[in-house]
Amino acid sequence: MFLPFLLLQLCATVAAATNDNPKTVPCEASSFTNPVVPGAEVLSIKAEERRNFDIPAVPGLLEPVSDLNFCDVQIYLTHPGANDKVLVETWLPLTRGLWNDRFQATGGGGWATGMLDLSLGPAVAAGYAASSTDGGHSVDYFSADWTLNEDKSVNWDLLQNFGTRSLADMIHVGKSLTEQYYRQKPRYSYWNGCSQGGRQGYAIAQRYPDMLDGVLAAAPALRFPALTMSFLWPNLVMKETGTVVSNCEFNWFAAKALEECDIMDGAKDGVIGNPETCTFDPRSLVGQKLECSGIEIEVTEAVADVVRKVHEGPTTPYGSKVFPSLTYGTSLSTFVNATTNPDGTRTLNDPGLDVFARTILLRKSDKYNVTKLTTTEFWSLWAQTDEEYGWIMDGDNPELSAFRDAGAKLLSWHGTIDDIIPHKTTNKYRQRVERELGGAKAVDEFYRLFLAPGVKHCGFGDGAVPKDPLETLRDWVEKGEAPDTLAAETRNEAGELVTRNLCRYPRTPKYLGTGDVNKASSWGCVGTDEEEEVSKPGKTFRDEL
């Protein structure tokens, strides 16, 4: 009898260990207590079970997600004195078996603090408990109308939510609900975002360094207000020089830059491996001819000079560069809206990208027209932007020692032909962190950056896009496997799979000279891991640019 008794006891012990917290609480509001959110009060909780939930595809942004089963918990909270009402929505995989023991906070995009369903769906499909927030305002990626009160004064409370506050609130709420629902804390917690979501990830690392175990932040809008002002630079150059260059012409120059610099990484693959080494000069094409709208156009010195100045990026009349430029080979169609007329003249149209200046700086002034903006007006608005709004919406503080000391990891990637946010902004930030915290090798212990040649904003382009960077971050956080490369892939025009291993910054890709150029095994990473000389303290990002 003694041996069977021991076996029964052993089986019971194993069963208890393998079925620890096997169930969840009911998916209803009464199952949850108000999460503790510093500086905020919970207004209401609503919980609803969702089964077989589908999210349709968003071309170029989201693959279709189907048959999701989760507990949808919506919490509204407010910040006393702010008169705001902020939604934090958390999706919890419906059963304990569907949950991967992890929590994911998700970022926004454009002028939206969060993307709600578009970010929650993929996270839950991957097994995460996940949260998103609207920051207390409309989820509109292209409008900043919510930043103004009815009297056109700035709503600073909503801007604070957008900048940082709602990000921390979302994490507090999401982690609390996850623990309540599954009756255990998430083993690990992560951030996942690109563009605005990338900026938010950096802001979390800087301002709330001990809230998460890992941050995945791609193509970050580190200096968001200044970035939006930089969108106006091409128009200003063309207006002030009196020379309008059409989108067709800009695209031609981009193709010529690719033609000249593609081979510099050792292979003609339709991608410039390291834009920093591309010495393309548009003035070398003066006299050549191209066709736009059926009209033959000859490249003049004036046209070439405009292209050069636009690619230099915002530069003061005294020659100081105040924001990184887009690399040659990058499309300018996002910023330029100029057409070629039947008589060969060009018309400069409003590109519609002056949301920040028109809405926040000028309070929707009817007198404002970006195509008529003067140099004096532009630099006046730029100064106002940095002075009044950088502190609340920027994410470029290089002091990451608290994040480092918390044992957290920051994984970031940026496409080198990003046509919205110049990848150089991320390069420069990384260099500042190195100066602050002991050099490249020391920073690599907790923060690694990967550049994606030929990739546009958060994806697209002809280059290989990171395949599963969040999984790479998890391996770094949970297994201590620091990544030297980042697996990426795309398909070329023929539909063939193209794979690459993106290089850890500052290394760059180089074709090995043999093998299929479409395969990652035919490429290596070149460069040095030696730390650069640490610059004197006190030099700022803006000084450096």
Looking at the structure, do residues 367 and 399 belong to the same domain, yes or no? no
Q: How far apart, in Å, are the Cα atoms of 65 and each of 51, 127, 218, 271, 479?
A: 13, 13, 22, 31, 29
440 domain residue, yes or no: yes
Looking at the structure, do residues 336 and 235 belong to the same domain, yes or no? yes
311 catalytic? Reply is no
7 domain residue, yes or no: no
Q: Is 163 helix (H, G, I), strand (E, B) or coil?
A: helix
Q: Is 511 helix (H, G, I), strand (E, B) or coil?
A: strand
Q: Is 138 helix (H, G, I), strand (E, B) or coil?
A: coil
Q: How many domains does the chain have?
A: 3
Looking at the structure, do residues 450 and 365 belong to the same domain, yes or no? no
Q: What span, in angstroms and rounded, lies between the C-alpha atoms of 498 and 61?
A: 20
214 domain residue, yes or no: no
Looking at the structure, do residues 356 and 440 belong to the same domain, yes or no? no
Tokens of 100: 């991967």
Residue matched to tokens 């923060």: 447
Q: How far apart, in Å, are the Cα atoms of 48 and each of 26, 70, 72, 175, 457?
A: 10, 9, 5, 18, 35
Q: What span, in angstroms and rounded, lies between the C-alpha atoms of 295 and 342?
A: 7
Dump the DSSP string for 395-454: ------HHHHHTT-EEEEEEETT-SSS-THHHHHHHHHHHHHTT-HHHHHTTEEEEEETT
Looking at the structure, do residues 402 and 519 belong to the same domain, yes or no? yes
Q: Give 255's contacts (C-beta < 8 A, 6+ positions apart).
A: none
CA 361 to mean position of chain CA atoms: 24
Looking at the structure, do residues 367 and 468 belong to the same domain, yes or no? no
Cross-strand pairs, 278: none
Which ranges of 32-116 would DSSP assign to H, the alpha helix?
none
Residue 256 CB neighbours (<10 A): 20
Assign 3-class secondary structure to 323-341.
CCCCCCCCCCCCCCCEEEC
Looking at the structure, do residues 521 and 473 belong to the same domain, yes or no? yes
Looking at the structure, do residues 401 and 259 belong to the same domain, yes or no? no
204 domain residue, yes or no: no
Tokens of 276: 């920093």
Residue 56 CB neighbours (<10 A): 10
Q: Is 344 helix (H, G, I), strand (E, B) or coil?
A: coil
213 domain residue, yes or no: no
Per-residue pLDDT of the chain (545 residues; tens, 9 = 90+): 333 333 333 333 333 333 345 679 999 999 999 999 999 999 999 999 999 999 988 776 678 889 999 999 999 999 999 999 999 999 999 999 999 999 999 999 999 999 999 999 999 999 999 999 999 999 999 999 999 999 999 999 999 999 999 999 999 999 999 999 999 999 999 999 999 999 999 999 999 999 999 999 999 999 999 999 999 999 999 999 999 999 999 999 999 999 999 999 999 999 999 999 999 999 999 999 999 999 999 999 999 999 999 999 999 999 999 999 999 999 998 889 999 898 888 998 888 878 999 899 998 887 788 888 899 999 999 999 989 999 999 999 999 999 999 999 999 999 999 999 999 999 999 999 999 999 999 999 999 999 999 999 999 999 999 999 999 999 999 999 999 999 999 999 899 999 999 999 999 999 999 999 999 999 999 997 654 433 333 333 344 33
Tokens of 146: 């919510």
Looking at the structure, do residues 248 and 340 belong to the same domain, yes or no? yes
Looking at the structure, do residues 401 and 350 belong to the same domain, yes or no? no
Q: Is 259 helix (H, G, I), strand (E, B) or coil?
A: helix
Say which amino acid occupies 377: E
Pairing mode of beta strands 214-218, 129-133: unpaired
418 catalytic? Reply is yes
User: Which of 186, 216, 251 is the last residue before a domain boundary?
Assistant: 186
13 domain residue, yes or no: no
Q: What span, in angstroms and rounded, lies between the C-alpha atoms of 179 and 202?
A: 25
Looking at the structure, do residues 82 and 36 belong to the same domain, yes or no? yes
Surface-to-core class of residue 51, CB atoms within 10 Å of its CB (0-12 exposed, 13-18 middle, 19+ buried): exposed
Contact criterion met (CB below 8 Å) for 196 and 435? no
Tokens of 368: 């404002």
414 catalytic? Reply is no
Q: Is 503 helix (H, G, I), strand (E, B) or coil?
A: strand
Peptide bond into 506 cis (omega under 30): yes
User: Which of 265, 396, 457, 522 is flagged as catalytic?
Assistant: 457
179 domain residue, yes or no: yes
Residue matched to tokens 């510093």: 38
Q: What span, in angstroms and rounded, lies between the C-alpha atoms of 392 and 199?
A: 12
Instruction: HSE, CB side, 13 Å, CA atoms: give it for residue 292.
Output: 23
Residue matched to tokens 């804390």: 185
User: Which of 195, 230, 325, 522 is flagged as catalytic?
Assistant: 195
Domain range for 487 is 395-545
Looking at the structure, do residues 240 and 100 belong to the same domain, yes or no? no
Pairing mode of beta strands 214-218, 188-194: parallel
Tokens of 375: 């140099």
User: Which of 72, 418, 419, 462 is flagged as catalytic?
Assistant: 418
10 domain residue, yes or no: no
User: Which of 153, 170, 186 is the last residue before a domain boundary?
Assistant: 186
Q: Give 97's contacts (C-beta < 8 A, 6+ positions apart).
A: none
Pairing mode of beta strands 409-415, 447-452: parallel
User: Which of 186, 218, 240 is the last residue before a domain boundary?
Assistant: 186
Contact criterion met (CB below 8 Å) for 453 and 278? no
